[in-house]
A = this chain, B = another copy of it.
């Protein structure tokens, strides 16, 4: 369907990872939903220049409508309770997290607000940028895209897929006409549902058959890939494992924290976005559990309200507070590796595991 040699899909915000995975025979998918259109244009131009014509994809929010809407800009900042801002300020003081230059802090807030209050035209702008490049796959990060938008994209020879974490959502995607779904278990990094991969995958595979299903959540090893394929998945969708490669642009300090973490350190928390998001446990995720801490705000207020603190933590490299969305496979990531190494090891382990099962079954018959 996609002209790839290995059914390994790699979600990454780093263009180098996307290019390397595609060149290794898999399918790199650029996570672009947080990018402004100009940035996406720049990244895709770079990928086109380096990917040697191999297929790659983009993951973004497909806008729900093309219609113009008069969206009055709300004063969102005023919706953040005073105690909440005071709590953040106190925490920054306690941890000696240096402030941002004032102008930068203002620009950051504006950027956050602009992103949240994106009009349908602006959202379409991101999709338009993607469609100007020779992408082979467009993945919808959240919700169900409109049928006509899916068709418009497919008519350009691009396959459309959607991420889902529930059987009902998978069925809605079939209705919307996507080419395949990515079934993501609760062990995945970022926003996920509550159903684990082992339980979710076969249910989704049954529900949407004969539509292909990619397995996501908890995949970093070839044996996990073999398990997914055994259960009927058409391929695997991975994310966390690439964060630890030399091609990932993650801060070195954060990489080291990921390498030191165990699986139980990848917790579900509302700290970052207000929605349950699996991320590395840190002082930032834990401070909301302390007595006297305010409740987290609903999405998107939590993202906006904490943006400055998170940026301050990152700029100053305050390690105990540093966090990042990551799945439970973080426990398997122990030192820096390379994209090519990950792909090769995964393939080797996959063939070992498949060979093992074949041998067992032949012996027992």
A interface residues with partner B (beta carbon < 8 Å): 166-167, 185-187, 193-200, 202-203, 217-219, 221, 223-224, 226-232, 262-264, 267, 327-329, 331-332, 351, 353-358, 360-361
**Is A230 touching B353 in the complex (CB atoms < 8 A)?**
yes
**Is B223 touching A202 in the complex (CB atoms < 8 A)?**
yes
Roughly how many angstroms separate A232 CA and B352 CA in the complex, as a whole number?
A: 10
Closest 4 CB pairs of A and B: A198-B218, A227-B227, A187-B196, A199-B328
**Is B224 touching A198 in the complex (CB atoms < 8 A)?**
yes
Q: Which residues of B contact A224 (CB under 8 A)?
A: 198, 202, 231
**Is B354 touching A357 in the complex (CB atoms < 8 A)?**
yes
Roughly how many angstroms separate A231 CA and B222 CA in the complex, as a whole number?
A: 9
Q: Decide if the interface of chain A is mainly helix, strand, loop or mixed.
A: helix
**Is B187 touching A353 in the complex (CB atoms < 8 A)?**
no
Q: Which residues of B contact A187 (CB under 8 A)?
A: 195-196, 198-199
**Is B226 touching A198 in the complex (CB atoms < 8 A)?**
no
**Is A232 touching B353 in the complex (CB atoms < 8 A)?**
yes
**Is A197 touching B200 in the complex (CB atoms < 8 A)?**
no
Roughly how many angstroms separate A356 CA and B353 CA in the complex, as a whole number?
A: 14
**Is B328 touching A195 in the complex (CB atoms < 8 A)?**
yes
**Is A223 touching B232 in the complex (CB atoms < 8 A)?**
yes
**Is A264 touching B166 in the complex (CB atoms < 8 A)?**
yes
Closest chain B CB from A20 CB (angstroms): 22
**Is A230 touching B356 in the complex (CB atoms < 8 A)?**
yes
**Is B331 touching A199 in the complex (CB atoms < 8 A)?**
yes
Known: A195-B264, A199-B327. 8 other contacts (CB 8 A): A185-B198, A187-B195, A187-B199, A194-B264, A199-B218, A199-B263, A202-B332, A223-B232
Q: Which residues of B contact A329 (CB under 8 A)?
A: 199
Roughly how many angstroms separate A262 CA and B170 CA in the complex, as a whole number?
A: 14
Residue with the greatest number of chain B CB neighbours at <10 A, chosen from A264, A327, A329, A332: A264
